[in-house]
Amino acid sequence: MSDDRDLDVDSTATDEASLVDWENPPSLGDLKQDYESAKVAHDVHITEVDTWLRVLNGEQTINAKRGRSKLVPKLARKQAEWRYAALSEPFLSTDDLFNTSPQTFEDKDSAVQNGMLLNYQLNCRMDKVSFIDEYIRTAVDEGTVVVRVGWEFEEGKRKVYEDVMEMQMALDPQTGQPAIDPQTGQPQMQEVKTGQTSKMKTVTLKNQPVLTVCDYNNIIVDPTCDGDLEKANFAIYSFETSLSELKKDGRYKNLDDINFESASVLSEPDHEVNTDDSSFTFKDKARKKVIAREYWGYWDIDDTGEVEPFVATWIGDTLIRMEKNPFPDKKIPFILVQYLPRRKNIYGEPDAALIEDNQKIVGAVTRGIIDIIGRSASGQQGIRKDALDVTNARKFERGEDYKFNANVDPRQAFHMEVYPEIPRSALEVLNMQNNDAEALTGVKAFTQGISGQALGTTATGIRSALDATSKRELGILRRLSNGLNQIGRKVISMNSEFLEDEEIIRITNEEFIAINRNDLGGKYDIKLNISTAEADEQKGSELAFMLQTMGNTMPPEMSQMILADIAKLRKMPDLAKRIQEYQPQPDPMAQQKMQLEMALLQAQVANETAKGKENEVDVALKTAKTQTEQAKARSMHSGADLTDLDFVDKESGTKDRRESATEDRKHAQNLENKEFDRQVNLDNKQLDAEINLDNTTVDR
């Protein structure tokens, strides 16, 4: 045994060396050890789910005696059938499942583009109805749904046709002669199509995300994650594949080392085969199905004490893939959603876990009722032996008129067997268990028939029951929508990494939007447009009431907005869009009247403006006149003051004295002037005498 182990280790080391050049790569034995260790807790979960599914499908074993009923009523299935549509319809009733909103205003355009891209991929690149139905039904049936988020890329060869172009002389259309360029004098040249050529071109056939709802048997999660998948150190997923598929994928190596002769699906009992007939197998090597296990986890690959995300795949004892996690978020590519969460447990519970006992009791009582009815001789008729003689007995058997003996009362002579009455206590037990099951799940399955009395006898009671049911249902929807939210975040990160530089997305029949790869990598708040039918009905009623009470005073634009919202809530997106885009066409007469009224108003405004300007001129003129009159008034006041002052001066003699003083000053001034002139003349004469004396001296 030790020798075999050594051989396995050597073979594994060889596989690792051919796949990666890490300092400390994990060995296949390490990966299988994690698988075996986690499988113990995983088997417990499988046992629980198998039990719940047997309850759901009514596959419980009944140890009944021969001739007794073995009926198992499907109470859990009845509850689940009412739950499927209620949970899937909010996701399927709208084309815009993802509604992205940015964290900052700068990311608004990119967020809108991401929302368009996500909705386009979900609606056009995937089977949305199939995925949502499987997503919801898996959660309701098994209590836990695990979705694997991957990326699918495929290239192919396609023949494309291209035009063959040649340069030829241009001809003058009038003369048919070669056209001459007037500037250069040379013949004009033009490019002419001479034919077509074809060539093979590599094109992208698929470049899109892939969402896979995993079978609960085929996914093993780290049991130490304490109920949070984000804390899980590894997740192991098994899937069916073949040599042809592995080679086509292009990521796998060491394919020649796989022993396809001994490997088969039947040799892996831990894997749940996804076919109806698990015994069918292909015999040729290329198509023969084998089980591959994919390990997503973390390992100290550089021997530094810090783990890094990686992925490894093996078939049997052969590693065929090992590389670092290729996804941008570097996380395990699985989303786990719990239907009814359990504390500190990664797996949830379905409704079948709550009503298993109720189903058993309903089954026991129902089988008792059937046995009571089935063991009766209903329809058989008994005749008292002495009631008829031989002749009349034959007539009675042939259906003819007969005569009975006179000494026998016919009411006692003939007895008809009928079904026995069902005990009232049995029906009360059935009703009690059905009501208890409905109370546990919050689903009104109408066990007493679909009628107005099924929910209660009063409007208040009905409203309370619907409110409680809606809250219970909305809680489940929040968990399911949160799972889709996480899926959307992963797909956004993959779009930013794996999409081509420009991805043309068909939004409508007429509009195409080009999305740049660099605009798809930010972090966005992804919201989902989900709600229950009851919540939509309540919102629609409130908006209708608002429109009814405020419609006469509300602007038409606001009424149009409310009508569009009501149409959306009533699941009429086409009508909502037409209401939003509706622009009323004006009446030509009313439009002309409006134009004339506008022209009249403009003329009135122009007239009033002219009057205002004229008033401004009048104000300026009146201001100038006022200043002139004020100046005249001041001049008149000044003249009057001068007249008064002159009168006073004359009356008091001041004027005469002033005139006398003036004359005296003038006389004195004249005397001074004469004296000054005399003195100047004397000085001039003296100066002339001195000059003459000097000249005489010089002559001598």
My answer on whether 687 and 642 are in the same domain is: no
Does 641 or 504 have the greater pLDDT score?
Answer: 641
Confirm if 272 and 238 have CB atoms less than 8 A apart: no
Residue type, 247: K
Query: 437 and 390 in one domain?
Result: yes
Same domain, 400 and 430: yes
Q: For residue range 543-602, what is the model confidence (pLDDT) as tens digits?
A: 888 888 887 788 888 888 888 888 877 778 778 888 888 887 777 888 888 888 888 999
pLDDT tens-digit map of 484-500: 989 998 998 898 888 87
Of 340, 334, 281, whose CA–CA distance to 309 is shortest?
334
The answer on pLDDT for 450 being more than 50 is no
Question: Hey, what amino acid is at 368?
Answer: G
532 — pLDDT class (breaks 50, 70, 90) = low
- Does residue 696 have a pLDDT over 90? no
Task: Return the exposure string of 271-280: e unless at least 16 CB atoms fall within 10 Å of the residue's CB, then b.
Answer: bebeeeeeee
Of 614, 630, 652, which residue sits at a domain end? Answer: 652
Q: How far apart are CA 368 and CA 69, in angstroms?
A: 8
Residue with tokens 């023949």: 159
Residue, of 468 and 337, whose pLDDT is higher: 337
- Report the number of distinct structural domains present in the chain: 4
290-299 vs 308-315, strand pairing mode: antiparallel
State the DSSP code for 25. P
Of all residues in the chain, what percent carry a pLDDT higher than 90? Answer: 25
* Per-residue confidence (pLDDT) for residue 352, from 0 to 100: 92
Instruction: Give the confidence band of 415 by pLDDT, cuts at 50, 70, 90.
Output: confident
From CA 692, how far away is CA 233, in angstroms rounded?
141
Whether 614 and 689 share a structural domain: no
Task: Name the pLDDT band for 519 (thresholds 50, 70, 90).
Answer: low
Measured between alpha carbons, how far is 470 from 537 in angstroms, rounded to an integer? 12
Axis-axis angle for helices 28-57, 75-92 (nearest 10): 110
Query: Rounded distance, CA 230 to CA 335, Å?
Result: 9
Question: 128-142 and 459-498 are packed helices; what angle lies between their axes, rounded to 10 degrees?
Answer: 120
**Are the CB atoms for 133 and 140 separated by under 8 Å?**
no
pLDDT value at 522 more than 70: no
Amino acid at 644: D
Listed in sequence order, the residues at least 6 apart from 40 whose beta carbon sits closer than 8 Å to its beta carbon are none
Residue 9 lies in a domain: no
pLDDT digits 0-9 by tens, 179-229: 887 777 788 888 888 888 888 888 888 889 999 999 999 999 999 998 889
Please give the C-alpha separations between residue 698 and each of 28, 525, 686, in angstroms, as whole numbers.
149, 125, 19
CA atoms within 13 A on the CB side of 113: 21
Q: What is the pLDDT of residue 217?
A: 93
Q: What percent of the chain has pLDDT over 70?
A: 87
> Which H or E run includes 321?
strand 318-324
Nearest in space to 274 (alpha carbons), one of 248, 239, 236, 315: 239
Asked whether the beta carbons of 562 and 546 are under 8 A apart, the reply is: yes
Helix (H) or strand (E) segment spanning residue 634: helix 588-652
Identify whether the C-beta of residue 314 lies closer than 8 Å to the C-beta of residue 34: no
Those residues whose C-beta lies under 8 Å from the C-beta of residue 36, and which sit 6 or more positions away, are none
| CB contact set of 6 (below 8 Å; sequence gap of 6+) | none
Residue 483 lies in a domain: no
Task: Give the chain's radius of gyration (CA, Å).
Answer: 53
Q: Are residues 560 and 657 in the same domain?
A: no
Give the pLDDT score at 17. 64
pLDDT band, very low/low/confident/very high, at 511 (cuts 50, 70, 90): low
Half-sphere exposure of 242 (CA within 13 A, CB side): 11
Domain that holds residue 557: 532-584
* The pLDDT value given to residue 575: 84
With contact defined as beta carbons under 8 Å apart, do 115 and 98 qualify? Answer: yes
pLDDT at 454: 45
pLDDT in the model for residue 14 = 52
Residue range 364-372: average pLDDT?
89
Q: Would residue 175 count as lying in a domain?
A: no
Lowest mean pLDDT among 122-136, 306-320, 355-369, 466-480: 466-480
The Cα-based distances of 657 to 271, 649, 670 in angstroms read 146, 9, 20
Q: How confident is the model at residue 530 (pLDDT cuts 50, 70, 90)?
A: low
563 and 657 both lie in a single domain: no
693 within domain boundaries: yes
pLDDT at position 405 is 86
How high is the pLDDT of residue 577?
A: 80
Mean local confidence (pLDDT), 526-540: 68
Query: Tokens 């009533």 — which residue?
Result: 570
With both helix axes pointing from N to C terminus, report the angle between 75-92 and 459-498 in degrees, rounded to the nearest 10: 60
Amino acid type, 338: Q
The tokens of 133 are what? 């139905």
Return the minimum-mean-pLDDT range out of 218-222, 453-457, 627-631.
453-457
* Nearest in space to 89 (alpha carbons), one of 128, 138, 141: 128
Query: Cβ distance 488 to 526 under 8 Å?
Result: yes
CA atoms of 88 and 136, how far apart (whole Å): 6
CA pair distance 374, 419, nearest whole angstrom:
9
> Is residue 38 a part of any domain in this protein?
no
CA nearest to 523, candidates 484, 491, 489, 483: 489
Does the residue 505 lie in any domain? no
One domain for residues 570 and 666: no
**Do 609 and 657 reside in the same domain of the chain?**
no
Q: What is the mean pLDDT of residues 91-117?
A: 78
- Whether 420 shows a pLDDT value over 90: the answer reads no
Higher pLDDT, 619 or 319: 319
Position 698 pLDDT exceeds 80: no
Helix (H, G, I), strand (E, B) or coil at 143: coil
> Do residues 632 and 699 share a domain?
no
Q: Are 96 and 117 in contact (CB under 8 A)?
A: no
Task: Decide: 528 and 477 in contact? Cβ < 8 Å.
Answer: no
In this structure, is residue 422 part of a structural domain?
yes
Structural contact between residues 573 and 558, judged by C-beta atoms closer than 8 angstroms: no
If asked whether residues 628 and 541 sit together in one domain, one would say no
Please indicate, yes or no, if residue 259 is contained in any of the structural domains: no
**Same domain, yes or no: 621 and 661:** no
What's the whole-number mean pLDDT along residues 325-352? 93
Cβ count near 651 (within 10 Å)? 9
**Measured in Å, how far apart are the chain's first and last C-alpha atoms?**
169
Residues sharing a CB contact under 8 Å with residue 335, sequence separation 6 or more, in sequence order: 146, 147, 149, 229, 483, 486, 487, 490
Task: Please determine, for residue 46, whether its predicted confidence score (pLDDT) is greater than 90.
Answer: yes
Q: Compute the average pLDDT of residues 87-98.
A: 84
| Residue pair 389/406 in contact by the 8 Å Cβ criterion | no
**Mean confidence (pLDDT) of the chain:** 82
> Who's near 326: CB < 8 A, 6+ residues apart?
311
Per-residue pLDDT at 121 exceeds 60:
yes
Q: Give yes or no for a contact between 466 and 125, defined as CB atoms under 8 angstroms apart.
A: no
Model confidence at 628, in pLDDT bands (50, 70, 90)?
Answer: confident
Q: Judge if 359 and 404 occupy the same domain.
A: yes
Helix axis angle for 459-498 and 108-120, nearest 10°, is 100
